[in-house]
Amino acid sequence: MKRARQESIPDKIQRYKGVILVVSIPLLLISFVLFLMPRSPAAPKLMTTEDMSTVAVGRKTVPGGLGPRSYAVIFDAGSSGSRVHVYCFDKNLDLVHIGKELELFVQKKPGLSSYAEDPKEAANSLVSLLEQAESAVPVELRQSTPVRVGATAGLRTLGDETAEEILQAVRDLLRDKSSLKSQPDWVTVLDGTQEGAYQWVTINYLLGRLGKKYSKTVGVVDLGGGSVQMAYAISESDAAKSPRTSDGEEKYVKELLLKGTKYYLYVHSYLHYGLLAARAEILKVAEGSSSCVLNGYHGTYKYGGGEFPANGLPSGASFAECRSDVVKALRVDEPACTHMKCTFAGVWNGGGGDGQKNLFVASFFFDRAAEAGFVDANLPVAKVKPSDFEEAAKRACKLNADEAKATYPHVSEGNLPYLCMDLTYQYTLLVDGFGLGPWQEITLVKKVQYGDALVEAAWPLGSAIEVASLT
């Protein structure tokens, strides 16, 4: 049998050309369509460290590494001690971390007013604080970083001449030994209304309330050593009704433009009514032995260059009698009050209103509450009522000096004899002085949560915001 001839490839193509055309034409059409379609985007790359330099931290987006920054160094030269705050801002004046914290905060005792006889030594007491502040600022930014020194009520009590000698010594120190940017008028005694306004700005800034209508802001009471300030936003109509002040006195209302919103800020500072100064005023009423001083204590209270007998009564301290002395010291029924509504010592109360309803109370209020044991010293804020101070005062007034020492281990020896007095004063100041209800809720504040960090609820931040926006 003959072997069949093997068919060539061209012969096969010729024989199956119909089938090939049927199959290839659709394939060519599909390829053409795919060629015309837009290409799919490349897969996204992973974010680098630089891409992630802007991180969200709560209510703000805060640059974490890149972008322009500015620093501000603010000294709070108070009556009970000196403190330095260092802040870092981005271009939007939002706080930026300095290391792990949103501020550098260092303090030491005593305050500048304790060096009344030696102004140079007063200035030298700030050296260690200054060195720590400078170390927190990058070398290349130090010459452009403003440093302010705001002395408060402690220096106000020394008299103009003595206070100015101390301030000049501080100016000389900053000029000769600091690499930071200083100006003579940045070292000054703050008037009380400045201090109160800065404190109001600080707390409302940290809470994210600036830029909102005034009724959404919070009011502030700041109890320092030498003075107490109250500040809260009021309506434009109430501002128009504010009483006129005498020549040389600060006006009751300041107009502030913050985050595009105009605020009418009622603010008043009561000199001689800070916690330490008020002790002297209360002891003046007692004239020797005081129902506010714990039984078993006999001594002399020194404040502002004066000395006041401070002796406990044999019968012991008494909350009711102490409260009577405090009311007299506050001059609650001051006949000079010519306005419809007054706080104490003849001062207009601002009219009240929405801006005062949510009240944040700072400084010595928090400290004494923690020492008396009715708030946790480790927490930044606490919700309390004025009646909590009343109850704490009644407990403290029943003790003698030795019993108080065992009961209140966190109160310093110098403050123990006056614990009944301090707590009674704080209750009376809130209720009789500022007109709060005994069971009205208030917020004791030491620090405020801002993003992922806690920031001191102190006036220097308000000053830093002002100077940073000007430089």
Provide CB contacts within 8 A for 333, sequence distance 6+.
none
Which pLDDT score is estimated for 471?
64
Distance CA 199, CA 334 (A): 27
- Give the CA distances from residue 324 to residues 226, 282, 297, 332, 433, in Å, rounded to whole numbers and listed in that order: 21, 10, 21, 11, 13
> For position 327, what pLDDT does the model report?
96
pLDDT value of position 421: 98
More confident residue, 61 or 109: 109
* pLDDT for the residue numbered 34: 40
In SS3 terms, 82-126 reads as EEEEEEEECCCCCECCECCECCEEEEECCCHHHHCCCHHHHHHCC
DSSP state of 329: H
> What percent of the chain has pLDDT above 70?
83
pLDDT score recorded for residue 12:
52
DSSP characters for 158-203?
A: T-HHHHHHHHHHHHHHHHHH--SB--GGGEEEPPHHHHHHHHHHHH
Residue 410 amino acid letter: H
Would you say residue 245 has pLDDT above 80? no
Structure tokens, 424: 């009674």
- Structure confidence at residue 101 as a pLDDT band (50, 70, 90): confident
Q: At a CB cut-off of 8 Å and minimum separation 6, what does 340 contact?
A: none
Q: Which DSSP letter does residue 353 get? A: -
Kindly indicate the confidence band of residue 255, based on its pLDDT and cuts at 50, 70 and 90.
Answer: very high
Q: Which of 151-165, 326-340, 361-375, 444-458 has the lowest mean pLDDT?
A: 326-340
96: pLDDT strictly greater than 70: yes
Q: Which residue from 383, 454, 471 is spatially nearest to 95, judged by alpha carbons?
A: 454
Hey, which bits of 305-452 come out as E strands?
A: 306-312, 359-363, 381-384, 442-445, 447-450
pLDDT band at 31 (very low <50, low <70, confident <90, very high): very low
Above 70 in pLDDT, residue 279?
yes
Backbone angles phi and psi of 438, in degrees to 5: -55, -30
Do the Cβ atoms of 331 and 346 come closer than 8 Å? Answer: yes
Cα–Cα distance measured from residue 177 to residue 182, given in angstroms and rounded to the nearest whole number:
11
- C-alpha pair distances (Å), 395 with each of 160, 303, 323, 324, 382: 41, 26, 14, 17, 20
Look at the chain and count its residues: 471
Burial of 39 (0-12, 13-18, 19+ CB in 10 A): exposed
| Least confident among 47-56, 418-427, 432-441 | 47-56
> Mind listing the pLDDT tens digit for each residue in 428-459?
999 999 999 999 999 999 999 998 888 989 89
Six-digit token pair at 84? 């330095």
Q: Which of 12-16, 66-70, 449-453 shows the lowest per-residue confidence on average (mean pLDDT)?
A: 12-16
Quick: pLDDT tens for 206-239: 999 998 999 999 999 999 888 899 999 999 999 9
Phi, psi for 434 (deg, rounded to 5): -100, 0
Point out the least confidently predicted range of 56-70, 182-196, 200-214, 429-443: 56-70
Q: What pLDDT is recorded for position 3? A: 43
Task: Give the residue extent of every domain in the chain.
Answer: 59-190+453-470, 271-440
Q: Averaged over 111-129, what is the pLDDT? A: 94
For 314-339, the pLDDT digits (tens) are: 999 999 999 999 999 999 877 666 66
- pLDDT-derived band at 33 (thresholds 50, 70, 90) equals very low
Enzyme catalytic residues: 195
Phi/psi region, residue 339 (left: phi>0; alpha: psi -120 to 50; beta: rest), is: beta
Distance, CA of 232 to CA of 268 (rounded, Å): 10
- Which range has the worst mean pLDDT, 93-97, 229-233, 263-267, 466-470? 466-470
Which of the four pLDDT bands, split at 50, 70 and 90, describes residue 22? very low
Query: Do 59-190+453-470 and 271-440 show the same overall fold?
Result: yes
- Mean pLDDT score of the chain: 85
pLDDT band at residue 191, thresholds of 50, 70 and 90?
A: confident
What is the second-level CATH architecture of the domain 271-440? 2-Layer Sandwich (3.30)
- Reduce the DSSP state of residue 230 to 3 states and report it: strand
CATH no. of 59-190+453-470? 3.30.420.40
